Structure 1
Amino acid sequence: MNQTVIVKKIGLVLEQKEKTPILIAGPTHVKAFTYDPTFMKDFGVLLQWTSRSGNAHERVFKMKDILADSGKNMLQSLADTGLFIHHKAKYWHFILDYLMNENPEKTVVTVEKTGWYFGQFVSPSWVAGFGEQEVMYNGDSPGQLKSNGTFLEWQDNVATLCQDNALMIFTLCAAFAAPLLDKLDWDSFIIHFLGSSKNGKTTLIRLSASVYSDYQYRDTWSSTANGLAGRAKDRNCMLVLLDELHQAEPEDVSKVIYQIGNGVSKLRGNKDGGPRPQDYWSLIGLSTGEVSLEQKLAEANKKPQAGQLMRFFQIPLFQTFGVFENLHGSASPKEFAERIAKVTKQQFGTALQPFLNQISAMPDLEQTITAQIKEISQTWINNLQINPSNQVAFAADRFSFLAAVGELAIELGAIPWEKGSARFEIEKVFEAWLANYSEEFDYEERHIREQLRKFLPKSQYSIKPQGAETKIGWWKLNSNELSWHIRRDAFKTGLKLEFDHQVIQAAMILKKQGWLQTNEPSRGTFKSSISGKAERHFKLLPNQIAKDLNINIDFSRFQQGGEA
């Protein structure tokens, strides 16, 4: 029997010899072959169709899924959107034959993760850039990026209100910078805005969300750690917004900061016992809350680690009206916040794509941004007259990155601010972070200084002379130089070091300050022979420590033999 499927305007028509033609499906067209370039698999077809109500649809169907059940699920999906499918199952294989045998000239690359591919930026809703290879998103992200209004309206009604408001400028720059973090091969990080409930933190979330989509783009900290890791996967090379830190569980906060910063999901097993593929991401997070990281972790009797503080930069709301400095004619901060809420409901989701269209055409983008970061960071350090620790320099580079992207957006016309305003205002934010971070010391050194101020006074009466060792250790006076030889366990406990690797790190910091002597540099310990037996202790110089840290201790009793 001669039977042929003919593509007509009304749809797929089955023509049979000496029989009446039968419409077996509505308007359907195979636009292109598709495949995933990362793994060179997942070949499929890009199908276009029109529903009975006249709505146009487009979707990728993978060959493996079509063949798995003879196309039944695919046909059900098409029918569910309104495409006419003949009710008699005996005609369905003709539809499948057509789809499998079509040979379109075009091939489209499909990707399941947002980000940069073939010089183009792929989002769930659009592609920015003009590469030769057509690319489209085919992931399972639950939310499309929505838009309303025009790019020019967003500039006039939203971006202009940020002028002369450091935190608002900082926020928008972070939104534009997130897609470019991957270009520098930097780890992800989170910015946390810390302030009371009436200081406008939500306004910062509204502003940054408006670059990408509507206000529903945001998430809250009440999500689980696994849920937020899933969100990070969906928002690769984009911004993640986390509102209300106080709603989170302390354990989840600790996990999320490390997981987002590390840029990789947990390793999990599949049903066969082997490892599942891990997810990777690069992003910037913006967080708000009335509590700090220290306060949140204290709920679980924990303290932040240095690694967390370099992934979670906390900024107090330092401006005259909390988040605001210039109210742009509004009568009060409340009125200004309401004004921003109104315009961001009307204008959103139109700014990022035009900016990335221009960015994608810049051949020396990484070099340009890297040079700007170096220059801006050094200028700030000179202006503030500081000798930065490694951690402060690390933070300065991240803040400078946001400023550099902000200046680039100004230069390209994406943001209607005066040239230099991004770096000028973000320097204020960096200074506020620095003041909140306190001291010129790294977190580890600051922690050790705090613990030494407690450990020395507490231990002065329990440590005994050499030969009468206690759980802490023993002391020795040699040529008027007093030394305390502290046992490893007592050293770790006294300085509140949670992990073994921190013990050596602490010893190296003490040595650098001239507070510890060692004859085993790689260990940080001092090896002594006691009753013919070699023992290792940490040799502290308590006089020097007390002098440098202004600890009031009378060491004269050690001159007198150690009796109180």
Structure 2
Amino acid sequence: MEDKEKTLEVLPDTSQGQEQRGTQSPLILQTKTQGNETGRNADQLTEPRPSAPGKSQFVSNSEGVLYREFERNSDESRLVWFSSPLDVIAQTRDANGEWGLYLAVQNPLGETLQWVMPMSMMAGTGSAYREALLRMGLKLGVNGSKRLYEYLMTARPERFLRCMHSTGWHGPKFVLPDSSYGPENGEEIIHQGPTSETPFRVKGALGEWQDEIGRLGEGNSRLALALSSAFLGPLLQPFGQESGGFHFTGNSSVGKSTLLMAAGSVCGGGGPAGFVRSWRTTDNSLEAIAPMHNDALLCLDELGQVAPSAAANIAYMLANGQGKGRARKDGSSRPMHFWRTVFLSTGELTFEQKVREDKNQRFMAGQSVRIVDILADAGKGMGAFETLHGFIDGKAFSEHLNRVSVVCYGAPFRRYLELLTADLANFVVRARTWLQRFESEACPQHADGQVKRVAKRFGLAAAAGELAVEMGILPWRSGSALWACTVCFWDWVASRGGFGSAEAYAALARVRDFLAIHGASRFETWGKEDGERIANRAGYRRNEGENVLYLVYPGVFKSELCNGGDHKIIARHLLERGHLVPGKNQDFAKVHKLSRERTTARFYTIKASILADNLEDSPFEETPNDVTA
């Protein structure tokens, strides 16, 4: 009887309408009949492979894996089917030196899934690897478990692959779950994990994305920043930058989530909310998700869905770029997850406001540098947008972006990686030029160090956007990304009160608020002789002409007004803003003579002018919206 074997033809996943470039890992293996011939390494697949020399051997073909069973004391044998199609493609080794097998498993629908099986899963009873294969759709026959173990343990494929647990840069190559970009020479690299779980899917052509989404970013500062940020991830490593991102905040229905949907469409989609994930997760699950977005974009929607403590932990872990240390059963350390990512987030509250909902949480100024709050409303009466490109209103504009973002995605990032890896050194030089231009035009030299760090983040987003413009991916005029990031940066500077230190503004606000609340109840009037007594007195209130001075006891100043902060630094901030009357010999405290006690005492002498200080110093001579591309 003629045995017609099947040729398994390796095809990229073109069901989503986009040609995928780079070195492809097969996603779906389709079959076609070709008589007695097999097209995919036919001799290799059908040639018996010894399991135990002289006793048994395996045959792998399109019908499955068969075991050659020999008759006792005879050379006669028969082939016994024990597994549906399962091919051992290559041996793998990861960055931690752990070995595995790269397997192709065909499910009952005829689709083939790839999986890197760690060899350590075959230890003990082996139930872990069998469970994983069965979950993918593998079928086993009688004695299948035993034969499967022998088949895998004796496999010796000649092909070797380097296996990575995260996307992003690995040497000169940029790795996605189904593709790698960069030089063809050198070690073959693949991403470990089922390709079915990747968010970096592709649907629709680049031109379609440009017409439906990309062109709409020009003239819209928030949208252009979000789209530019989607191209920023691959620049983090060349510029030595840490993880960080932007948090769009404001009332509902202004278009915050739309910004994330549009940005996510640059990189991929296919999930319930496209490329966007929810804040409603645990730090443990996000620890597994973050490496999938290494050197790329991560979108997290609706900060309000998580508790303040969870938000603080997740944000700290994301910005810190590494997971938790864990131990194996034998006490040795498990490999830790590491990542660099650009994340975009949304919420009705600023990140600081969210964290402060928990009385036990402290918001550190450094967090505001890693997670930058941006008011989503652009201030033009159209929500997050300034230019509607012919749409009737902001709602229609937003609905269009949401609708097309789930049906057209992924192609821009693939094209960006293809061009970037082909001439990385030159594009890094171009990006540095755009970054330097942003820093020189948008951020003054006297700015606080924290402000300069944030400026660099905005500047790199601008540089990434301008590179995408130069590559022909973003259909904008040159300078459009620079304009958008400048507008958003200046809005951020204005919201924080200026280019100074965030800690300084917070400390001055505490002093101002203390005097506003307790100025009448805890400060005795200076020189009053009628026996006025103040409970829990903080000091004296003294009139000097038209000026009012608050004389604060040093102990109260340090413990209550400074609230544990460095009292000398806070006093210096007060002096620099003209709200402190210093003493002699560069002493921040001034000696006053107490008329009633006929003695002297030192006080921190604060002018009432601080009560009128809104702690905002305008960072620009022109309004941000006057900036042009």
The normalised TM-score by structure 1 is 0.80
Matches within 5 A, 1:313-324: 313-316=372-375, 317-320=377-380, 321-324=382-385
Whole-angstrom distance in 2 between the partners of 1:512 and 1:93: 79
Instruction: Give the C-alpha shift of residue 392 in structure 1.
Output: 2.3
Which has the higher mean CA deviation after the structures are superposed, 321-330 or 359-368? 359-368
| Deviation for aligned residue 1:341 | 1.9
1:506 to 570, 576, 589: 570
Is 115-124 or 268-277 further displaced after alignment?
A: 268-277
2:174 pairs with 121, 128, 134, which one?
121
* Conserved 8 A contact 2:508-2:573: no
Contact 2:83/2:139, CA 8 A, preserved across alignment:
yes
- Per-residue CA distance 1:89-108 (angstroms, 9 max, x = gap): 4xx54444343333322211
**Quick one: structure 1 residues 517 and 409, their matched pair in 2 at CA, closer, same or farther if it must change by over 3 Å?**
same
Distance in 1 separating the partners of 2:182 and 2:316: 32
Separation of aligned partners in 1, 2:502 and 2:251: 25
**Closer, same or farther in 2 for the Cα pair 1:192/1:546, shift >3 Å?**
same
Q: Is the 8 A contact 1:264 1:279 kept in 2?
A: yes
Aligned-residue offset at 1:401? 0.7
Residues 29 and 48 in structure 1, CA contact (< 8 A), matched pair in contact too = yes
Report the alpha carbon displacement of residue 184 of structure 1 after superposing the two structures with TM.
2.2
Aligned residue pairs, count = 519
Q: Distance in 1 between matches of 2:213 and 2:346?
A: 20
Distance 1:11 1:250, change over 3 A: closer
Which residue of 2 is the match for residue 56 of structure 1? 112
> Contact between 2:106 and 2:138, CA under 8 Å: does it hold in 1?
yes
Distance 1:72 1:230, change over 3 A: closer
The AA in structure 1 aligned to 2:431 is I
Contact 1:130 1:357 in 2 (8 A): no
Q: Distance in 1 between matches of 2:333 and 2:588?
A: 41
> Does residue 1:171 correspond to 2:232, yes or no?
no
Identity value in percent: 26
1:162 aligns with 2:198: no
* Contact map agreement 1:5 1:94 (CA 8 A) in 2: no
**Alpha-carbon spacing, 1:539–1:307, altered in 2? closer, same or farther (3 Å):** farther
Higher helix share: 1
CA distance change for structure 1 residues 227 and 495 in 2, over 3 Å: closer, same or farther? farther
Q: Indicate yes or no: 2:600 matched with 1:542.
A: no
Cα 1:516–1:130 change in 2 (3 A) is farther
Cα distance, 1:376 vs. partner? 1.5
Contact conserved, 1:118 with 1:133, CA < 8 A, in 2? no
Could you say which residue in structure 1 is the equivalent of 2:16? Answer: none
- Greater CA deviation, 47-56 or 323-332? 47-56
The aligned counterpart of 1:289 is 347
Going from structure 1 to structure 2, the CA distance change for 1:269 and 1:489 (only over 3 Å counts) comes to farther
8 Å CA contact retained: 2:378, 2:386: no
Farther off after superposition, 273-282 or 200-209: 273-282
Q: Secondary structure at the match of 1:187?
A: coil
Compared CA separation, residues 494 and 78, structure 1 to 2 (3 A): closer
Cα distance change, pair 462–284 in 1 and its aligned pair in 2 (3 A): farther
1:280 aligns with 2:327: no
Matched, 1:415 2:474: yes
Flag structure 2 segments of 5+ consecutive residues without an equivalent.
1-53, 528-535, 542-548, 592-600, 614-629
Query: Which letter maps to 1:339?
Result: H
- 1:20 is aligned to 78
Residues in 1 aligned to 2:433 and 2:335: alpha-carbon distance in whole angstroms: 36
Aligned to 2:264: 209
AA aligned opposite 1:330: F
| CA deviations over 1:517-564 (Å, ceiling 9, x no partner) | 79999xx999x9xxxxxxxxx976526x5567768xxxxxxxxxxxxx
Distance of 2:329 and 2:539 partners within structure 1: 53
Change (3 A) 1:438 1:67: same
Give the whole-Å Cα distance in 2 for the aligned partners of 1:539 and 1:409. 62
C-alpha RMSD of matched pairs (Å): 3.8
Q: Which amino acid aligns with 2:442?
A: W
* 2:315 paired residue number: 257
2:456 is aligned with 1:397: yes
**Amino acid aligned to 1:434:** V
Answering whether residue 165 of structure 2 is matched by residue 112 of structure 1, we say: yes
Change in Cα spacing, 1:539 to 1:249, as seen in structure 2 (3 Å) is farther
Among 100, 104, 109, the alignment partner of 1:44 is 100
Q: Which residue of 2 aligns with 1:479?
A: none
Whether the 8 Å contact between 2:220 and 2:387 is mirrored in structure 1 is yes
Residue correspondence of structure 1 range 423-442 to structure 2 within 5 A: 423-442=482-501
Q: Are the equivalent residues in 2 in contact too, given 1:456–1:542 (CA < 8 A)?
A: no
Structure 2 equivalent of residue 461 of structure 1? 523
* Counterpart in the other structure of 2:419: 358
> Are 2:304 and 1:240 equivalent residues in the alignment?
no
Residue from 187, 190, 199 that aligns with 1:136: 190
My pick for the range that moved more, 279-288 or 163-172, is 279-288
Distance verdict in 2 for CA 1:486–1:36, change over 3 Å: farther
Which stretches in structure 1 are left out of the alignment for 5+ residues? 476-481, 529-537, 552-564
Distance in structure 1 (CA, Å) of the matches to 2:135 and 2:459 = 50
Q: 1:122 to 1:456 in 2, by over 3 A?
A: same
Corresponding letter in the other structure for 2:468: A
| 2:364 alignment partner AA | Q
In 1, the alpha carbon distance for the partners of 2:584 and 2:313 equals: 39
Structure 1 residues 422 and 273: CA distance shift in structure 2, 3 A: same
Query: Does the CA contact (< 8 Å) of 1:12 and 1:23 recur in 2?
Result: yes
- The aligned counterpart of 1:557 is none
1:259-316 Cα offsets, whole Å, 9 max, x none, are: 3222233456666777665433211221122222344345335674312221221212
Indicate how the Cα distance of structure 1 residues 126 and 335 shifts in structure 2: closer, same or farther if over 3 A, else same: same
Tell me by how many angstroms 1:453 deviates.
2.6
Aligned positions of 1:180-219 closer than 5 A: 180-214=235-269, 215-219=273-277
| One-letter amino acid of the structure 2 residue matched with residue 204 of structure 1 | L
1:35 matched residue in structure 2:
93
Aligned match of 1:560: none
